[in-house]
């Protein structure tokens, strides 16, 4: 818990403006989600039908439940689709405003990059980069604090998992250079 | 009063300095692994198991079971503070525990969680002490139809509960059940829905999904509002703790009900997860204002925690008496027993009295010491909330990734976690409830297997679910619960009382 | 001092030695026979200081053990993972079309052979003959519990059906332990568990062994229950049902490891079989001791593979 003792104090950066234009309405998103779910239901339904979805002498075949479940999922999404389309005329709530979307992306994109870096450089390097980068660029926290926190956290994780408990995390060239 | 004499003997075995020290060490290690996402109960115990190889069996089991209690206590901490359930049965704790933390009542929620864990375990230990021989024969009554009936009961207690539009609950549950089926089908030995992918062979791991759905998506949602966790650490003092304790008698019904559900489902193996959900659902169902659940109600913490711990503890009984582990952690302890040359089974109670009663006595002591330990450390954990979000957010992301990876050592799971994070974010915003999805993902496969084994056994005859008093009454109870909204409505009409419905659902409810 | 230490260590570092914790990969769930065996080896290695690096047991029981096979296959060249294999290495690729072949892994040693026994509830028929008669006379088919589908237990059941003319309903459970308690609870009439899986319920007098599926009786003569030892169980052949099946327990490294690495593990597991922990474990679980390595092992595997394949074909469990 050492990193909590660092006494990092920071002003809350501006909250998203309330008057930011809407990027998507809830109904529109619902329609997209329902369409995606319908496609998933169709794919899984087909696969299970191929596996065998009948009820033979010893009870249901492996595809039986999943097949009917995909029908249920399909039905539910279809209902949702129709409901969303019907309600579309009415004033719709905002799913996300432009300002909000930007902020969500500010955390989603680094997370995505973090996963990508983990794949190639290992988890610890990725974790250092993510924490330092996020604190500095998004949180506007002083550079030395960001670097120090990131290093301490990553080091604590490394000692805990890889050394103390033998839980082996994905590692890359840097760790290999130190013989791990 | 033979049990009592044996229990005293057990305490005598325990009360040496060496065991007491081991106990403390075990508890601290346990809390530690419980708080670290990705370690949690079963993994933590598994990792620390080799430490005990050189000890005598009694000291070893005392230390391991204390790690277990510690991990159970610790698991509640991340659920409440970060909405990341470390164990499957902590999921229900997040429903109200996290909102409480957001409202600045983290200390209260943690105290409630620890206290109810303590109560749940204590009731279960009492049960183990006095009913051990009887219970083992009860557990043997459970064949596939009985198991299916229990799972059905859990599912039915869920349907028709949510405030969300009904088709969204249906979508959520069917999606969960479908994803639970991915991978190898045990009954036929065939692969399903893997599309030739070696990664999907394993199936979709429940914890990976939960870490994404709850942990990652929460960060996205928090970010949308402003750059801070929406709660701040309350001042934790003896006053908060005493305040929560003073209110305990008000919730005696919830605590009793949850303990009962927990013990019952713990003894019927494999029920710890079902117990926490069922405890939560029933508390909600019998509450005067079910709408207030999910918004930071203390009963919503008491109910699942009591049930989960009552079942987690009573799960040790079938393990000792029958060699069937009722939970993942119990399964690891089982492995430990073998290493120390003890074979769990009906004869363990006869041949290794010292060991069994030493263990039972350590459950009492471990719980008391554990409760004191966690309560005194609450301020440390709650102070995590004071750290700026820009620092905590990436650390949570890293912890989530470590957790997701550690479960199966698979990079694919990190990507899966990210995907579920996105799904969770969108679902939460358009009002598709996540709870039915997680429940379905955990229990879906077991329910299906139990159903199909019942069918093979009966030659495809559905009457098997009413073939004896036990299975018949569980099945009937499940069906009554399923149609409870209808029954309740009829009763209400008869009584000419109308409940006012709140219209604060996140989306305008569509026609039911 | 340092020089002395260096000299002393020298012979040990001549060969290859692991520099990272060694994973024993278990292709089954927690508490199963493979897991128990892995924990026994972990304890034997650690207690007797057979290796400097720690041993971790990693459970990869997903997809009925296919997870472990794919994990080993994808770990090519990694000498820190050892699979504790059993007959699934032959059967799973056939029944579920898993793209796996044990020849892609590096064989280390066969360390034991596991028996199968026909068990029934102690309240049920007392001999194989009575059991077969009762099963024939029953109005609904006898339920036979076992682990997994289209695997050793299932194959044995099919062979039992062929030899006796009895029809069973086979119930595939997730583990042998579950099959054992379901038999005790009278939810099934019989099972074909390994000795270890039914040991405790046998000692408690809740189940009865009818016969063992081997050419000869089990060699352990120490009393297990008040009246019986493993050696007292007749073979199925003696009882007029000629069905035999033994299951290997063997260690494999991933493919493409160096001969030095292979040699290290051959030596390590040879040492393990000399420990008191191993010997004790073998007797307690009624396993047949065996130690094969090198050419002998490969020959054994080839023959065993061919036999399992023909059994699977005959039983109709090979996926098209």
Which residue in A has a C-alpha nearest to residue C80's C-alpha? A168
From residue C93, how far is each of A51, A82, C28, C320 by CA, in Å?
17, 45, 16, 12
Lowest-confidence range among B286-295, B353-362, B373-382, C70-79? B373-382
Average pLDDT estimate for B73-88: 77
Instruction: Say if A144 falls within a structural domain.
Output: yes
Q: Are residues A108 and A119 in the same domain?
A: yes
pLDDT band at A116 (very low <50, low <70, confident <90, very high): very high
Cα torsion angle, C63, C64, C70, C75, sign: positive
CATH of the domain at C47: 3.40.190.150
Q: Quick one: pLDDT at residue C153?
A: 93
pLDDT over 90 at C144, yes or no: yes
Which residue in B has a C-alpha nearest to residue C146's C-alpha? B187
Interval A57-113: pLDDT, tens: 777 888 899 999 999 999 999 999 998 888 876 667 788 888 888 888 988 999 999
Average pLDDT estimate for B58-77: 80
Q: Are residues A124 and A74 in the same domain?
A: no
Average pLDDT estimate for B255-280: 80
**Boundaries of domain holding A74:** 24-96
The burial class, CB within 10 Å (0-12 / 13-18 / 19+), for B24 is: middle
Q: Indicate the residue among C172, C201, C232 that finishes a domain.
A: C232
Q: Quick one: pLDDT at residue B439?
A: 77
Instruction: Say if C98 falls within a structural domain.
Output: yes
CB–CB contact B175 A37 (8 Å): yes
Average pLDDT estimate for B200-225: 81
pLDDT over 60 at C12, yes or no: no
**Boundaries of domain holding C62:** 20-114+247-315
Instruction: Say if C10 falls within a structural domain.
Output: no
Name the percent of chain C lying above pLDDT 90: 66
Pair of tokens at residue B219: 């960060």
Q: Indicate the residue among A48, A70, A96 that finishes a domain.
A: A96
The domain total for chain C is 2
Measure in Å the smallest separation between the Cα of C54 and chain A Cα atoms: 8
Any A CB within 8 A of C20 CB: yes
Residue in B174, B182, B187, B440 to test binding to A, most A beta-carbons within 10 Å: B174
Any B CB within 8 A of A69 CB: yes
Which residue in B has a C-alpha nearest to residue C62's C-alpha? B202
The mean predicted confidence, pLDDT, of chain C is 89
To 10 degrees, the CA torsion angle through B136, B139, B143, B144? Answer: -140
pLDDT over 60 at B162, yes or no: no
Q: Are residues C261 and C288 in the same domain?
A: yes
Q: Are residues C183 and C37 in the same domain?
A: no
Helix (H) or strand (E) holding C143: strand C142-147
Annotate A73-93 with DSSP letters as a single string: HHHHHHHHHHHHHHGGGSPPP
Q: Find the length of chain C.
A: 320
Q: Checking DSSP bridges between strand C55-59 and strand C207-212, what pairing results, if any? A: unpaired
Q: Are residues C92 and C123 in the same domain?
A: no
Rank A138-152, B160-174, B209-223, B291-305 by mean pLDDT and report only the highest. A138-152
Any B CB within 8 A of C76 CB: no
Lowest-confidence range among A96-110, B60-74, B107-121, B451-465? B60-74
Q: Indicate the residue among C197, C232, C267 that finishes a domain.
A: C232
Q: Quick one: pLDDT at residue C6?
A: 41
Q: Quick one: pLDDT at residue B43?
A: 63
Instruction: Say if C13 falls within a structural domain.
Output: no
Q: Are residues C205 and C300 in the same domain?
A: no
Contacts of A166 in chain C (CB under 8 A): 21, 54, 56
The domain total for chain A is 2
- Give the C-alpha separation, C145 to C189, whole Å: 8
- Give the C-alpha separation, C28 to C57, whole Å: 11
Instruction: Say if C149 falls within a structural domain.
Output: yes
Average pLDDT estimate for B485-500: 66
Helix (H) or strand (E) holding A109: helix A98-121
Q: Are residues C266 and C278 in the same domain?
A: yes
CB–CB contact B344 C54 (8 Å): no
| Segment 18-57 of chain C within 8 Å of chain B by CB | 29-31, 35-36, 39-40, 42-43, 46-47, 54-57
Half-sphere exposure of A30 (CA within 13 A, CB side): 31
Q: Are residues A102 and A164 in the same domain?
A: yes
Instruction: Say if A19 falls within a structural domain.
Output: no
Rank A90-99, C39-48, C78-87 by mean pLDDT and report only the highest. C78-87
Q: Are residues A167 and A103 in the same domain?
A: yes
Q: Quick one: pLDDT at residue B511?
A: 36
C204 closest CB neighbour out of B324, B345, B449:
B345
Q: Are residues A107 and A117 in the same domain?
A: yes
CB–CB contact A26 B507 (8 Å): yes
Q: Are residues A173 and A102 in the same domain?
A: yes
CB–CB contact C169 A58 (8 Å): yes
Q: Quick one: pLDDT at residue B271?
A: 62
Instruction: Say if C8 falls within a structural domain.
Output: no
Instruction: Say if A10 falls within a structural domain.
Output: yes
pLDDT over 70 at B223, yes or no: yes
Any C CB within 8 A of A9 CB: no
For residue B465, the SS3 value is: helix
Q: Are residues A38 and A77 in the same domain?
A: yes
Q: Quick one: pLDDT at residue C157?
A: 94
CB-based contacts of C242, cutoff 8 Å, min separation 6: C163, C236
Instruction: Say if A171 falls within a structural domain.
Output: yes
CATH of the domain at C219: 3.40.190.10
Any A CB within 8 A of C54 CB: yes
Q: Indicate the residue among A77, A96, A115 that finishes a domain.
A: A96
Q: Are residues C216 and C130 in the same domain?
A: yes
CB pairs under 8 A between A and C: 8
Instruction: Say if C101 falls within a structural domain.
Output: yes
CB–CB contact C19 A58 (8 Å): no
Any B CB within 8 A of A10 CB: yes
Q: Checking DSSP bridges between strand C81-85 and strand B183-185, what pairing results, if any? A: unpaired
CB–CB contact A107 B187 (8 Å): no
Any A CB within 8 A of C53 CB: no
Measure in Å the smallest separation between the Cα of C80 and chain A Cα atoms: 12
Q: Are residues C72 and C123 in the same domain?
A: no
Q: Quick one: pLDDT at residue C287?
A: 93
pLDDT band at B231 (very low <50, low <70, confident <90, very high): very low
Q: Quick one: pLDDT at residue C232?
A: 94
Q: Are residues A117 and A66 in the same domain?
A: no
CB–CB contact B334 C46 (8 Å): no
Q: Are residues A104 and A91 in the same domain?
A: no
Q: Quick one: pLDDT at residue A61?
A: 85
pLDDT over 70 at A2, yes or no: no
Q: Are residues A171 and A111 in the same domain?
A: yes
Helix segments in B140-205, DSSP class H = 144-156, 166-180
For residue B87, the SS3 value is: coil
Place of tokens 């009865």: C208
- Give the C-alpha separation, B298 to B114, whole Å: 12
Ramachandran quadrant class, C49 (left: phi over 0; alpha: psi -120 to 50; beta: rest): left
Q: Are residues C274 and C216 in the same domain?
A: no
Interval A3-59: pLDDT, tens: 332 223 333 444 566 667 788 888 889 999 999 999 999 999 999 998 888 887 777
Q: Are residues C266 and C167 in the same domain?
A: no
| Segment 257-296 of chain C within 8 Å of chain B by CB | 280, 284
Interval A124-164: pLDDT, tens: 999 999 999 999 998 888 999 999 999 999 998 888 778 77
Pair of tokens at residue A106: 């500010």
Residue in B194, B339, B450 to test binding to C, most C beta-carbons within 10 Å: B339
pLDDT over 50 at B509, yes or no: no
pLDDT band at C191 (very low <50, low <70, confident <90, very high): very high
CB–CB contact B460 A58 (8 Å): yes
Interval B311-347: pLDDT, tens: 888 877 777 776 666 666 666 676 677 667 676 666 6
Q: Quick one: pLDDT at residue C235?
A: 95
| Segment 42-81 of chain A within 8 Å of chain C by CB | 58
Q: Are residues A90 and A149 in the same domain?
A: no
Interval B360-384: pLDDT, tens: 888 888 888 888 888 887 667 666 6
Q: Are residues C222 and C189 in the same domain?
A: yes
Which residue in C has a C-alpha nearest to residue B347's C-alpha? C204
Interval C196-217: pLDDT, tens: 888 888 988 999 999 999 999 9
Residue in B162, B171, B504 to test binding to A, most A beta-carbons within 10 Å: B171
Q: Who has greater pLDDT, B126 or C119?
A: C119
Measure in Å the smallest separation between the Cα of B466 and chain C Cα atoms: 15
Instruction: Say if A132 falls within a structural domain.
Output: yes
Contacts of A3 in chain B (CB under 8 A): 387, 391, 395
The mean predicted confidence, pLDDT, of chain B is 78
Q: Are residues C125 and C109 in the same domain?
A: no
Q: What single-letter DSSP state applies at residue C111? A: E
From residue B364, how far is each of B27, B307, B311, B361 by CA, in Å?
13, 17, 15, 5
Q: Indicate the residue among A96, A115, A145 that finishes a domain.
A: A96
Instruction: Say if C237 falls within a structural domain.
Output: no
Pair of tokens at residue B63: 């230390």
| Segment 88-107 of chain C within 8 Å of chain B by CB | 95-99
Q: Are residues A89 and A110 in the same domain?
A: no
Instruction: Say if C164 falls within a structural domain.
Output: yes
């Amino acid at each position: 818990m050492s990193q909590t003792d660092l006494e990092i104090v920071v002003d809350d950066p501006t909250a998203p403006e309330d008057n930011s234009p809407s990027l998507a309405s809830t109904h529109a998103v619902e329609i997209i989600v329902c369409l995606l779910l319908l496609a998933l239901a169709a794919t899984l339904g087909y696969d299970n039908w191929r596996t065998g979805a009948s009820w033979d002498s010893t009870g249901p075949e492996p595809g039986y439940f999943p097949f009917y479940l995909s029908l249920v999922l399909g039905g539910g999404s279809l209902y949702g689709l129709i409901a969303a389309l019907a309600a579309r005329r009415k004033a719709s709530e905002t799913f996300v405003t432009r300002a909000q979307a930007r902020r969500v992306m500010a955390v989603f994109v680094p997370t995505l990059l973090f996963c990508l870096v983990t794949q190639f450089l290992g988890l610890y390097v990725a974790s250092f980069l993510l924490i330092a980068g996020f604190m500095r660029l998004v949180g506007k926290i002083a550079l030395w604090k960001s670097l120090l926190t990131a290093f301490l956290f990553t080091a604590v994780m490394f000692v805990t998992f890889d050394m103390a408990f033998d839980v082996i995390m994905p590692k890359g060239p840097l760790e290999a250079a130190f013989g791990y | 009063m033979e049990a009592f004499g044996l229990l005293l003997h057990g305490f005598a075995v325990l009360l040496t300095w060496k065991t007491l020290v081991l106990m403390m060490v075990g508890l601290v290690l346990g809390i530690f692994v419980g708080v670290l996402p990705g370690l949690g109960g079963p993994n933590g115990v598994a990792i620390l198991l080799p430490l005990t190889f050189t000890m005598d069996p009694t000291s070893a089991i005392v230390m391991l079971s204390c790690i277990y209690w510690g991990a159970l206590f610790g698991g509640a901490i991340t659920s409440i503070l970060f909405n990341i359930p470390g164990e499957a049965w902590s999921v229900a704790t997040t429903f109200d525990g996290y909102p409480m933390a957001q409202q600045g009542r983290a200390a209260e929620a943690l105290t409630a969680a620890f206290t109810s864990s303590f109560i749940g375990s204590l009731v279960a230990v009492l049960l183990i002490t006095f009913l051990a021989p009887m219970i083992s024969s009860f557990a043997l009554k459970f064949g596939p139809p009985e198991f299916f009936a229990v799972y059905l009961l859990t599912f039915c207690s869920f349907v028709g509960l949510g405030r969300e539009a009904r088709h969204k609950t249906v979508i959520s549950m069917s999606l969960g059940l479908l994803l639970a089926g991915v991978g190898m089908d045990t009954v036929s030995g065939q692969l399903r829905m893997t599309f030739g992918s070696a990664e999907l062979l394993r199936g979709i791991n429940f914890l990976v999904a939960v870490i994404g759905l709850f942990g990652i998506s929460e960060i996205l949602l928090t970010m949308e509002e402003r750059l801070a966790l929406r709660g701040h650490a309350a001042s934790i003092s003896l006053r908060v703790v005493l305040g929560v304790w003073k209110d305990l008698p008000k919730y005696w019904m919830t605590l009793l009900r949850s303990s009962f559900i927990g013990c019952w489902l713990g003894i019927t193996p494999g029920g710890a997860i079902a117990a926490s959900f069922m405890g939560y659902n029933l508390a909600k169902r019998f509450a005067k204002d079910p709408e207030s659940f999910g918004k930071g109600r203390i009963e919503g913490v008491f109910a699942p925690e009591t049930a989960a711990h009552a079942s987690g503890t009573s799960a040790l009984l079938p393990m000792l008496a029958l060699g069937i582990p009722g939970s993942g952690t119990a399964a690891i302890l089982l492995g430990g027993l073998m290493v120390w040359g003890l074979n769990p089974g009906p004869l363990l109670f006869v041949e290794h009295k010292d060991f069994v009663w030493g263990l039972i006595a350590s459950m009492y002591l471990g719980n008391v010491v554990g409760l004191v330990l966690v309560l005194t450390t609450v301020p440390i954990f709650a102070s995590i909330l004071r750290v700026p979000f820009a620092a905590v957010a990436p650390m949570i992301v890293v912890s989530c990734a470590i957790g997701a990876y550690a479960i199966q050592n698979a990079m694919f799971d990190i990507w899966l976690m990210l995907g579920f994070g996105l799904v969770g974010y969108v679902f939460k915003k358009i009002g598709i409830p996540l709870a039915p999805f997680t429940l379905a993902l955990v229990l879906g496969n077991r329910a299906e297997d139990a159903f199909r084994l019942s069918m093979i056994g009966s030659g495809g005859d559905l009457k098997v679910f009413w073939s004896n008093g036990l299975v018949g009454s569980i099945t009937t109870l499940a069906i009554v619960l399923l149609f409870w909204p209808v029954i309740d409505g009829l009763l209400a009409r008869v009584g000419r009382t109308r409940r006012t419905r709140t219209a604060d659902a996140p989306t305008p409810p569509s026609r039911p | 001092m340092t020089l002395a230490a260096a000299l002393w260590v020298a012979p040990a570092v001549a060969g290859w030695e692991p520099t990272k914790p060694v994973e024993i990969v278990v292709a089954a769930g927690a508490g199963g026979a493979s897991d128990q065996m892995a924990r026994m080896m972990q304890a034997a290695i650690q207690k007797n200081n057979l290796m400097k690096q720690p041993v971790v047991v990693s459970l990869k029981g997903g997809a009925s053990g296919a997870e472990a096979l794919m994990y080993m296959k994808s770990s090519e060249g990694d000498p820190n993972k050892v699979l504790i294999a059993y007959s699934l290495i032959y059967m799973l690729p056939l029944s579920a079309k898993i793209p796996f072949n044990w020849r892609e892994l590096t064989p280390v040693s066969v360390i034991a052979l596991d028996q199968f026994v026909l068990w029934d509830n102690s309240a049920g028929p007392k001999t194989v003959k009575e059991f077969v008669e009762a099963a024939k006379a029953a109005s609904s088919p006898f339920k036979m519990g076992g682990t997994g589908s289209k695997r050793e237990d299932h194959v044995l059941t099919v062979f039992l059906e062929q030899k006796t003319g009895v029809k069973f309903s086979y119930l595939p459970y997730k583990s042998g332990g579950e099959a054992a308690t379901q038999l005790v609870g009278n939810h099934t009439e019989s099972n074909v568990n390994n000795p270890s899986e039914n040991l405790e319920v046998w000692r408690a007098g809740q189940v009865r062994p009818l016969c063992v599926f081997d050419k000869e009786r089990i060699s352990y003569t120490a009393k297990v229950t008040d009246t019986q030892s493993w050696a007292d169980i007749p073979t199925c052949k003696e009882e007029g049902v000629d069905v035999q099946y033994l299951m290997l327990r063997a260690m494999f490294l991933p493919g493409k490891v160096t001969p030095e690495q292979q040699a290290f593990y051959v030596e390590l597991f040879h040492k393990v079989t000399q420990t008191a922990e191993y010997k004790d474990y073998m007797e307690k679980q009624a396993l047949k001791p065996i130690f094969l390595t090198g050419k002998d092992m490969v020959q054994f595997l080839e023959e065993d593979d061919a036999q399992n394949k023909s059994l699977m074909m005959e039983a109709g469990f090979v996926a098209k």
